[in-house]
Structure 1
Amino acid sequence: MSDKHRETPLSVVLGDHPHTRPLKNGTVPVEQVECHYPEFAPLPPAFARMVQDLAYDICEMPTATYLQARDAGVPVTLLPVVLVGSTHHRSLTRLPDGQDLDPSDLVGRRVGVRSYGQTTGLWVRGWLREEYGVESSDVTWVTTEDVHVAQFRNPSYVERSDRDRVADLLHAQDVAAAVLGPKALGGQGAGLVPLVKDAEDAGLAWIERHGTVPANHLLVVRDDVLNTRRDDVRAVYRALEEAIGSTAGERDDSPAGRAVTAGWSDALAACLEIAGQYALEQGLIGEPVDVAAIAEKAALLTD
């Protein structure tokens, strides 16, 4: 590697998580590599800039965005890290004083979601089909944002709203239910109730059935950076692996706590297989996901 490359900081976009802070504050150093950590609050604009402009060297990325970017030929490679994950049976919500709907009642109705490509929506539509027989096309999905991958075109059963927040769609009675991610549930979704009355148990049953926890945020690297600075990329990965290990005591045994991992595993392979199948069924991608090929590239980075 040239001295020029050594002198150029890597731009690494990571959300504000207990397991990423050690890298950002230098508690866990990236050996012999200078890193710059751009800050975003919220993170989604960074995801769009990464897949549309390749604006960063390494970037946290939602699972659905990664699958769509890969399908569209965006030159990024997965690093085998799960930064955020959980179950999502509680993510399908309604107003507490609204109609008491069962998930199977959503056929022919309107459901709000931030974007059709949102990862939480991917997982919700997956279990809706798997457990209740509700196809994606059975519902009109009303969105407040566009997908991150510019090449993607929404299916005909997706409608764009001019409202800013998904919860506003519910309060305006424009939708019967709404999909809200983990952070939104504690924010704009405060007071909303899940359609699945035993949501926590249903989520745990999904994990037991599939042998994995749904991943929401992964990590990718630009292919040109990987090709020219592979040792530096490995150093970032190893530092993050160390940070995830050193903060393990701060995570509980909930699905969200168990989701955070570094390294290729059967659970990560299963997660990508299922997410890929869901994405294909929902029209988010056009070709099946080759998890073996993803694993082969990941092995080059982690050996």
Structure 2
Amino acid sequence: MVRPSKKTQIPNLQEAIKDMAWKQIAEFGAAALSLRAIARELKITAPAIYNYFPDRDALVTALIIDAYTSFGDYQIVSRDAQAGDDLAGRLRAIGYSYRQWALDYPQRYQLIFGTPIPGYKAPLMEILPSAARSLSALVSVIDELRIANKLQTENFPSIQPGYESMFDVWRGFAGDYDIFSLSVAMIIWSRVHGLVSLEVSGNMPPFGVDGSALYRFEIDSLIKQFIKNNFKGVLLCTQFLLPVYESVRFFLCRFLRITPCVRVCRLRNLKASLVSILALRRITSFGQRPFGKKSRR
């Protein structure tokens, strides 16, 4: 292969190699990643790539680190766009940006969270700093809630003996946050991650054309569960209940094939519950408190 002249040489070859790698992953999958194929597409010699990435695994590691970095930046920007004292709003923004980044960059999301590449063993200590940072936005808000005594964690499972050292390693890269805040963040992450992974892989249950309504409902459910006295979050989630009701109705009728009388009974009970919640929302929209004031002692 003829070496390209200076006029045709690529200004930033390292980034060009990674861009071509992402295109290759999008078309053929990460397992088919080939340095020689990238060299052919860029019209350069294979040794030119080896100057930057000695083998395929080195390139994969660089792509993973870049993906985690972009993922973390996206969430941090969304968090910081909200007022510092609006912790519920900051948590909601992080949750929305988590899903949006995955939908905007599905190949990157699948590379860091999807099926492992055969023969590739990730160098943990190289990847861990960017991986920990990708969750730092979430952990920071949870820790602020804990410090402000707004974190609601009754009956939360305790950290089992022997796992503290794993959290200590994580704290070394993600910041000196309380171990309890880290554990709560992990629970929240696992819940949103499950829904996003189902949607990105095309396995979303029948909750509409996409997972938007179900995901927003889950985010508001998390806010209701983990933030004390957050009535605003409870009311916001009601706007997504009717789409969920329609999806459940569709699922019961089409997939479960339950008998008509049982079907009608269950749907009526479900709809009655939704109507009650929406009525509560209408009451509070006129400035009335949904619950009585606590008496002062």
* TM-score in terms of structure 1 length: 0.25
Structure showing the higher strand proportion among its residues = 1
- Higher relative contact order structure (alpha carbons within 8 Å, sequence separation ≥ 6): 1
Structure showing the higher helix proportion among its residues = 2
* TM-score in terms of structure 2 length: 0.25
